[in-house]
Structure 1
Amino acid sequence: MSTDSRRSPDALRRGALVLSIAYLVALALIAFWPTPVDRGAHRPITTVLTHLHAHGVPTWFNYGLVEFTANIALFVPVGLLGVVLLGSARWWMAVLVGFAASSVIELGQLIFLPSRYATIMDVIANTSGALLGALLALVLLAAIGSRSPALARA
């Protein structure tokens, strides 16, 4: 076995750790910004949605759905990076971390940020994003692992 193939899992984890730190800083800024981060985007998004509705897109495709989907996407990295850092056998812990982080964020917004809106739907969307990210990581690690003996053992 070459030295490079033995280092691959370590390099992957180091990279995931660096990305996790950058992601957590960005997430904290988004989550605890004093005003809603989509405030400046609300009008352009509703304008686009109005145009889409006028051209046949169903009205259930609305701002609430866009926001819910954005919350899912925001937490996909929690699951993805969590599985890489914790290992595929503990994939469920990445989802639990996503749920806990989302709950803390929403509670913090409720208590400390009167301009923000804390909702259970955000916790559901964020946890779903963490689950989606964890599942994606499992698939990617399985695909990579089938090609790399060192990653298959990691």
Structure 2
Amino acid sequence: MTQIQVGPPPPRSYARLWVSTLLLVVYASFVLLVTMWPQPEQLEFDSIAGRVLRALHNIGVPQWFGYDKLEFTANIGMFVPLGFLLGLALARSAWWVAIFLLPAFSGAIEFTQGIALDERVSTVLDVLSNTIGGYLGLLLAMILRAMIHARDRTKIERELWERRAAAAELQRQNAARAQAAASSHQVPAPAAARIAEPDPVTRVLDADFWETGDAPTVRLPL
């Protein structure tokens, strides 16, 4: 009986963690810069909002969609990437932490605006809109990660099925050769001359399985 050598585990990829964390830090810094700028008139938010509203009204958006509605929508959109990147940076089992981090981050911004920035207006409505946007981004991240996980699982199952099918075909061929040799009263071919029948399951445990490129994926642990 051949001894199975498990070998070292395959290396885990930290590309998702590093990239998402870096982008999260950059975007969070951008959000802080925009929301904590002491003189918002320098950022020309009002003029930009006016041009956007005129463009929206020209294409048929109702007139009741004014500055307040635009600001609420913009606050939602600003936190969607933040929730998305946070959902990618966190471990799959720790996604629930984002449920508390997103409103806490928005609340800290509004609290700081209220006590330290006279030119800023702090409202609970801003916290609500930011939280909605963050939760939408978090939901998108969870859907994306679930899709990738399901795809990797399917690829692994497909690879194992193909190996089992190949092993079954080799067994059928060897059985046919043995039957033909027995019917013609010939001496069966020695074991070394027969086609090797790989074990499709234990092959996954071989030490070189993850090194030779046979592995369908190493991205499964999301």
TM-score (norm 2): 0.60
CA shift in 2, pair 1:112/1:136, >3 Å: same
Which residue, out of 10, 17, 26, partners 1:13? 17
Question: Which residue type is aligned with residue 142 of structure 2?
Answer: L
Who is 1:152 aligned against? 220
Whole-Å separation in 2 of the counterparts to 1:145 and 1:123 = 32
Q: Do structure 1's residue 25 and structure 2's residue 29 form an aligned pair? A: yes
* CA contact 2:103–2:127 (8 Å) conserved in 1: yes
| Residue 81 of structure 1: how far off its partner (Å) | 1.8
Separation in structure 2 between the aligned mates of residue 126 and residue 62 of structure 1, nearest angstrom: 19
Q: Take 1:81 and 1:67, find their aligned partners in 2: how far apart are those partners?
A: 22
Instruction: Name 2:121's counterpart in structure 1.
Output: 117
Moved more, 86-95 or 97-106: 86-95
- Secondary structure at the residue paired with 2:129? helix
Unaligned 5+ segments in structure 2 are: 1-9, 153-216
Aligned residues: percent identity?
A: 38
- Residue 153 of structure 1 aligns with an amino acid whose one-letter code is P
Cα RMSD after superposing both structures: 2.3
Question: What corresponds to 1:63 in structure 2?
Answer: 67
Q: Judging by fraction of residues, say which structure has more helix.
A: 1
For structure 1, which runs of at least 5 residues remain unmatched after alignment?
none
Q: Deviations over 1:97-150 (max 9, x none)?
A: 110010010000000000011111110011111100110001111122222354
Change (3 A) 1:37 1:82: farther
Larger Rg: 2
What do residues 42-74 of structure 1 show as CA deviations (whole Å, max 9, x unaligned)? 234324424643664212322212211111111
1:19 partner amino acid: L
Amino acid at match of 2:108: V
Structure showing greater relative contact order (alpha-carbon pairs closer than 8 Å, 6 or more residues apart): 1
- Structure 2 letter corresponding to 1:119: T
Q: Aligned partners of 1:15 and 1:86: how far apart in 2?
A: 12
Corresponding position: 1:86 with 2:90: yes
Select between 38-47 and 132-141 the one with higher mean Cα deviation.
38-47
SS in 2 for 1:137: helix
Q: For 1:123-134, what aligned pairs fall within 5 Å after superposition?
A: 123-134=127-138
Q: Give 4+ residue runs of structure 1 displaced > 4 Å after superposition.
A: none
Matched residue of 1:116: which SS? coil
| Partner residue in 1 for 2:57 | 53
Aligned in 2, Cα 1:118/1:110: closer, same or farther, shift over 3 Å? same
TM-score (norm 1): 0.83
The count of corresponding residues between Structure 1 and Structure 2 is 149
